[in-house]
A and B are shown apart, each in its own frame.
Chain A
Amino acid sequence: MSGGLGKLIRTLQIDTRLLGMIGAFIVISLVFHVATGGTFLTPRNLFTLTLQTASVAVMATGMVFVIVTRNIDLSIGSMLGIIGMLMGVIQVQILPDFLGFGNPAIWVITVVIGLLLGAAIGAFQGWLIGYLVIPSFIVTLGGLLIWRGGAWWVSKGTTISPLDPNFVMLGGASGTIGVTASWVLAIVGSILTVVFLINTRRKHISHDFAVKPLWAEYALGAILVAAICGITAIMNAYLVPTRILQRRFAAEGLEMPEGYTEAYGFPISVLIVLFVTIAMTVVAKKTRFGRYIFAMGGNPDAAELSGINTRMLTVKVFALMGALTAIAAVIASARLGSAGSSLGELDELRVIAAAVIGGTALAGGVGTIYGAILGALIMQALVSGMGMVGVDSPLQNMIVGGVLILAVWIDIIYRRKTGDA
């Protein structure tokens, strides 16, 4: 990159790959906005887009770790299916008999069991891969068949619905936190971001490291705060349809005041994605566990010689993938309000594509959490956009497939130019 813009980006120390992906998302959005006659870039559609992306995005963060350690997990779609199914059975057919229908403990117990189940399945697959040295491709290909078969076996092909009303709120469509709480969150997030920037700068100065010029820090802070507030404003601009509000007032025996409006704010599922993203980024960048994942991906022998137990590390990575799949199962089944035995079908491919579009190298050692999230968003934007324009579903799949290959090719060229692997 050359010229004034290139210099600006370097001074701000913004990842050019990140910019490229945001750019791709904006271009895709604008194209569909025009093609749909102005319905793509609306609060309503963007709200829906984030809801649809949530479950794949959560799993994509885990897939980054899996791929970074030179493995693959093809079983997550099926794992999502069986975990979603078992959580459905637990919350609909088992727990209400003991706790009574609608008991708030139901969703908590269900989610905890789901998480344990996911971590256990993942750990077992990781053990087969790490300790019995069966290739991850084979273990998880087996898992794909086994867990999907299991989901059908548990449900005998039926769909469990309706799910527990509290549980369903986790899916987002009917569980949003409202305008005020969304703004509070945005302000807290902005303050934390600024504090983080200041702390980093202080620390670097205390060790006599080179720091960015002060104006660049201000600019970066302003961009981040603007982004946080911008996203919040969009979520707060999507108004609850008047009919739904009228019904709600009617249910309480009240008359809806004239001109009353209410917005949704952040869906709970999107907040879960946000939390997972931050947590996984900290794990990747700031914990020994994360450091060892990348060390193992870069050179497994070197990691071993440094005293890292790469077998156990493999088990942990797959256990984490399983737990994240369970979170995704919560989001996916809660969003639909039901658990069917085909829930999560083909999700493994969407998740792998999201991670790879986000810059995760299949050769291992390289990948970012934010990249995977953006990759998931780009994929979903493409799919929903084409749906809105009226592209037939077989053609949609063909286009997504082409985009995946194109994205990886661009990534290869980018790496070659930057000398970055």
Chain B
Amino acid sequence: MSTPLLEMRNISIHFGGIKAVDDVSIDVMPGEVVGLLGHNGAGKSTLIKILSGAYKKDAGEIFVDGQKVEINSPIDARAHNIETIYQTLALSDNLDAASNLFLGREITTRFGLVDDTAMEAESRKIMARLNPNFQRFSEPVRSLSGGQRQSVAIARAVYFNARILIMDEPTAALGVHETAMVADLIKELKAQGLGIFLISHDTREMMDLCDRVSVMKNGQLIGTERVEDVTEDDILSMIIMGKNPKKAA
């Protein structure tokens, strides 16, 4: 077996007395989509926020290409080409698309001033690929539709040559057409060799998009299975009962 693109090994974090993530290990290969499933509060988002640098783990190790790395901030995560699309999208509503896309990584002129024109030009290029209908570049993102806001968040993650992409409920707020667009994008990025962690409540969607699924409950990992080895009912029982039917059998 080759080296995983990214591996999180024996990760734990607790808030006060509650173990939000308890000794969980997951990994992703290049060109693979790994789904994270579980109830609200199962620890999926917390686990992913450790990877994106928003939370600091209490225990465990993270490996990129087999090399141990320290991720203590969003900047560290970005330095390892780990990009995240948050469930809340994490956009500044008062800024326009380009300002959000480049937030924290602005293009600057030779005088060190932010170059809005260049950033808008780059935003237009990537948007032409992701969402050709997107035209509202100079308006604050607050005035955009859910789908348009989502494209801004996705563009931000994709633009900077992500190798590992974390998508937390990327389709939760979208219509049917936009959901299909995101699914196509995930397949395209997968074909380009990115490793993707996908969080969703939609088991059917996960069975369709993912290569493997990891199920969490109460902060613990119940199991990781290849989607072709399990049925949707198996997954549901893992989520609800917290038991791995294959292991029980």
Say which residue of A203, A287, A365 sits within 8 Å of B92 (CB atoms). Answer: A365
* A227 at interface, CB cutoff 8 A: no
Q: Give the complex CA separation of A262 and B113 in angstroms.
A: 42
A-side residues, CB < 8 A to B, are: 203-204, 207, 209, 282, 286-288, 291-292, 294-299, 301-308, 365-366, 419-421
* A–B Cβ pairs within 8 angstroms, 16 of them: A207-B120, A286-B113, A286-B114, A286-B116, A291-B95, A291-B103, A291-B114, A294-B94, A297-B94, A302-B90, A302-B92, A305-B54, A306-B103, A307-B104, A308-B103, A365-B92
Q: Are B117 and A207 in contact (CB under 8 A)?
A: yes
**Nearest residue, chain A, Cβ from B142:** A421
Say which residue of A209, A291, A301, A365 sits within 8 Å of B117 (CB atoms). Answer: A209
Q: Are B93 and A298 in contact (CB under 8 A)?
A: yes
Q: Are A305 and B99 in contact (CB under 8 A)?
A: no
Query: Which residues 124-155 of B have a CB within 8 angstroms of A?
Result: 140, 142-143
Q: Give the complex CA separation of A292 and B106 in angstroms.
A: 10
Q: A297-B92, A302-B100, A305-B90 are in contact. List 5 more A-B contacts (CB 8 A).
A: A207-B120, A287-B114, A295-B95, A306-B103, A421-B140
Q: Are B114 and A298 in contact (CB under 8 A)?
A: no
Q: Give the complex CA separation of A237 and B103 in angstroms.
A: 48
Chain A residues contacting B74 (CB-CB under 8 Å) are: 304-307
Q: Are A421 and B117 in contact (CB under 8 A)?
A: no
Chain B residues contacting A420 (CB-CB under 8 Å) are: 140
Q: Give the complex CA separation of A296 and B90 in angstroms.
A: 11
Chain A residues contacting B40 (CB-CB under 8 Å) are: none
Q: Are B92 and A295 in contact (CB under 8 A)?
A: yes
Q: How far is the CB of A201 from chain B (nearest CB, A)?
A: 11
Chain A residues contacting B113 (CB-CB under 8 Å) are: 282, 286-287
* B33 at interface, CB cutoff 8 A: no
Q: Give the complex CA separation of A302 and B121 in angstroms.
A: 23
Say which residue of A286, A287, A302, A419 sits within 8 Å of B103 (CB atoms). Answer: A302
**Nearest residue, chain A, Cβ from B111:** A286
**Nearest residue, chain B, Cβ from A306:** B104
Q: Give the complex CA separation of A294 and B99 in angstroms.
A: 10
Q: Are A302 and B91 in contact (CB under 8 A)?
A: yes
Which has the most chain B C-beta neighbours within 10 Å: A286, A294, A305, A420?
A: A305
Which are the 8 A-B pairs with shortest beta-carbon distances?
A298-B92, A298-B94, A306-B104, A365-B94, A302-B90, A307-B75, A286-B113, A307-B74
Q: Give the complex CA separation of A305 and B54 in angstroms.
A: 6
* B214 at interface, CB cutoff 8 A: no
Chain A residues contacting B116 (CB-CB under 8 Å) are: 286
Q: How far is the CB of A203 from chain B (nearest CB, A)?
A: 5
Q: Give the complex CA separation of A421 and B73 in angstroms.
A: 31
Q: Are A298 and B90 in contact (CB under 8 A)?
A: no
**Nearest residue, chain B, Cβ from A366:** B94
**Nearest residue, chain B, Cβ from A200:** B117
Chain B residues contacting A294 (CB-CB under 8 Å) are: 92, 94-95
Q: How far is the CB of A302 from chain B (nearest CB, A)?
A: 4
Chain A residues contacting B140 (CB-CB under 8 Å) are: 420-421
Q: Are B54 and A303 in contact (CB under 8 A)?
A: no
Q: Give the complex CA separation of A153 and B6 in angstroms.
A: 62
**Nearest residue, chain A, Cβ from B73:** A307
A306-B103, A365-B93 known; A301 vs B88 contact (CB < 8 Å): yes
Say which residue of B54, B94, B100 sits within 8 Å of A304 (CB atoms). Answer: B54
Say which residue of B78, B99, B108, B117 sits within 8 Å of A295 (CB atoms). Answer: B99
Chain B residues contacting A421 (CB-CB under 8 Å) are: 94, 140, 142
Q: Give the complex CA separation of A348 and B52 in angstroms.
A: 41
Chain B residues contacting A297 (CB-CB under 8 Å) are: 92, 94
* B220 at interface, CB cutoff 8 A: no
Q: Give the complex CA separation of A80 and B36 in angstroms.
A: 56
Chain A residues contacting B92 (CB-CB under 8 Å) are: 294-299, 302-303, 365
Chain B residues contacting A304 (CB-CB under 8 Å) are: 54, 74
* B45 at interface, CB cutoff 8 A: no
Q: How far is the CB of A417 from chain B (nearest CB, A)?
A: 13
Q: Are B106 and A306 in contact (CB under 8 A)?
A: no
Chain B residues contacting A305 (CB-CB under 8 Å) are: 52, 54, 74, 84, 86, 90
Chain A residues contacting B142 (CB-CB under 8 Å) are: 421
Q: Give the complex CA separation of A364 and B13 in angstroms.
A: 33
Q: Are B143 and A303 in contact (CB under 8 A)?
A: no
Q: Are B143 and A419 in contact (CB under 8 A)?
A: yes
Chain A residues contacting B54 (CB-CB under 8 Å) are: 304-305
A295-B103, A305-B84 known; A204 vs B94 contact (CB < 8 Å): no
Chain A residues contacting B91 (CB-CB under 8 Å) are: 299, 302
Query: Which residues 68-118 of B have a CB within 8 angstroms of A?
Result: 73-75, 78, 84, 86, 88-95, 99-100, 103-104, 106, 108, 112-114, 116-118
**Nearest residue, chain A, Cβ from B76:** A307
**Nearest residue, chain B, Cβ from A365:** B94
Chain A residues contacting B118 (CB-CB under 8 Å) are: 207
Chain B residues contacting A296 (CB-CB under 8 Å) are: 92
Q: How far is the CB of A210 from chain B (nearest CB, A)?
A: 10
Q: Give the complex CA separation of A330 and B67 in angstroms.
A: 57
Chain B residues contacting A209 (CB-CB under 8 Å) are: 117, 120-121
Q: Give the complex CA separation of A288 and B114 in angstroms.
A: 6
Q: How far is the CB of A19 from chain B (nearest CB, A)?
A: 19
Which has the most chain B C-beta neighbours within 10 Å: A288, A296, A308?
A: A288
